[in-house]
Copies of this chain bind each other. A is one copy, B any other.
Amino acid sequence: MAFRVEVHSTTPPSKQIVNHLLSLIAGGEIRVEERLPSIRSLAAEVLVNPNTVAKCYRELESRGICRAKNGSGVYVTDAGPRLARAAVIETCRREILASVARALQAGQTVDDILQIVRNALEPMETP
């Protein structure tokens, strides 16, 4: 997993965890029909209460992304990867639009902003 909840963020742990799971499913690191980490193990790993993780799994299940099988675990549904990808991309799109708009309003030039984006994209272009 290699993921830690940022305790001092304004986004609550549960939302951070949901977002992270969405990223994992969207990025194909957890595949269709594959099992998500168990509630208790993920809770231990990211140092939150199991109830918090359970809430996250419930949320993903209500969005059709995964499905709990009693006594067995939580599994990615067929539609899971598609739904997760759509959710992640839509969120990122909105965030980028908002950030860019604010940067422009604050007096940052178009070139400044493109430079920032290029920096963010670089690590993916060289390898």
Contact = CB atoms under 8 A, between A and B. Distances in A.
Interface of A: 7, 10-12, 15, 19, 22-24, 26-29, 49, 59, 62, 69-71, 84-85, 88-89, 91-93, 95-108, 110, 112-114, 116-117, 119-121, 124-125
A94 to B, nearest CB: 9
A124 B110 contact: yes
Interface of chain A, main secondary structure? helix
Contacts of A59: 62
15 contacts: A27-B106, A27-B107, A28-B107, A85-B106, A88-B105, A91-B99, A92-B100, A92-B106, A95-B99, A96-B103, A96-B113, A96-B120, A99-B99, A100-B120, A110-B121
